[in-house]
Amino acid sequence: MGSAPKHRFESGERLVGSGGKQKTIGSNDSIPMAIQNRQKKPSSRRKRITTNGKPLQRPATPGSKSREENSDSPARGGGNDSDGEAKKRRKVNAAVRINDEVMSPNNRYFVKKKLGEGGFGAVYQVQARKRPPGMKTRIFALKTEARGPNCPDRLKLEATVLATINNCDDKVREHFAIMVDHCTTPVMNFIVMQLVGPSIQTIRDNVLHKEFSPSTALRISIESLEAIRCLHVDVGYLHRDLKPSNLTIGVGKNFTRIILIDFGISRKLFNKNNVIRLPRKEVKFMGTVRYACRRCHRHEEQGRQGDLESWFYVACDIYNQHVLPWRKVKERDLTYALKNDLRENDGNNKCLNELLPHEFRDLMLYIDKLEYEDVPDYDYLNGVVQGCATRTGVDLKQHFDWECFGPPPVGESEEDKTDNTPGAS
């Protein structure tokens, strides 16, 4: 193929991790982790990290926002809460710093750098002391969540979802990152998982600085739909927070793969008898206002239809980021009204007839007919997107728009060769 153009996936690009296995974080038999500073003497600027049973917190920062009502920020999401409740919450972070060593019963992880941060935790790039079984690298993502009375305790659920994913076959697992370890401590919960590349939103905004090509946009829609199908059918969970910042690319040779991340507000679909769970009468608003389904706005239980409605909004946004009429609206009620307006006259409007291929209207009309308990026809939806490509002359075998830049510069097996972790094996 010749030499690749100069790399535009800079090392400062947001890299995150996602992916799942065995014991649930926070179970009674979990072994507390020790966090040790690798330097012999603690820094004069900070206290030594301990696990004495008292959660250590960084200074609280006002203005952090709840992810239950988060915004469209590609980092972690902020608040679209018209009541301002999210803005009153205080920021609480797990006590992990660069050069710390995080220990689990299975391994030790040297913290190399911070990749991202949210209201109750952060994601770090770490290097494992020993290579986990079946892994080709010792470079991973460490996702943390502070423990405490005001903390959401969502990493337990995420670990459970990822554990189920780990037990699926390779065809399913390729749509997600793999969890390699997890643990709980008096200070925090944490998950160690495969690194993934920047999100679709980050690539469009910070790498390409332009709209995706029709081929890339439709391919992302197809790949993300398949990830949702696997999550529903094979894993048995709803995502409930579909958005471009929760769709990432892989790293290394997998940088042409679309990966679905962040299962902190997922919900199990079936009960122990493998029957769909009964819907609750009233449910909190969960997700991101711009992409949330209308059931979510009405405080109704979301089913598979809810994830697909969110996927439809994401597909529209990826094809043309200016097309959603509520894209700049922060108020939840007004956003809901505009989502209903989109459906007036069976969707015969400028948005769906002029700014998007008409197949997008077909997607919306089909998804809107689904009830809570209905099993969607994912093949039909896939066929509509494929048909859109055929009718408009789009070649779905074209390279993704980001392929010319090469894979993101993160730790693959080659990076392990320049290891500077003491005691590595």
Amino acid code (one letter) for 231: L
Report the alpha-carbon angle 386-388-392, nearest 5: 125
Whether 81 and 127 have beta carbons less than 8 Å apart is answered as no
Whether 276 and 236 have beta carbons less than 8 Å apart is answered as no
Q: How far apart are CA 380 and CA 391, in angstroms?
A: 16
Contact residues for 81 (Cβ-Cβ < 8 A; gap 6+):
65, 66, 69, 87, 332
Q: Which of 266, 137, 245, 238 is nearest to 193 (CA)?
A: 137
Task: Please give the sequence-ordered ranges of beta strands (E in DSSP) within 106-178, or none if there are none.
Answer: 108-117, 122-128, 139-146
Query: Would you call 270 helix, strand, or coil by DSSP?
Result: strand
Whether 256 and 400 have beta carbons less than 8 Å apart is answered as yes
**Beta partners for 238?**
267
Q: How far apart are CA 220 and CA 224, in angstroms?
A: 6
Residue 143 assigned as binding residue: yes
Q: How far is CA 44 from CA 41, 47, 48, 211, in A?
A: 9, 8, 10, 48
Angle between helices 359-369 and 304-319 (to 10 degrees): 160
Q: How far apart are CA 61 and CA 67, in angstroms?
A: 16
Contact residues for 425 (Cβ-Cβ < 8 A; gap 6+):
129, 130, 131
Q: How far is CA 361 from CA 219, 317, 358, 382, in A?
A: 18, 14, 5, 14
Binding-site entries: 143
Binding-site entries for ATP: 143
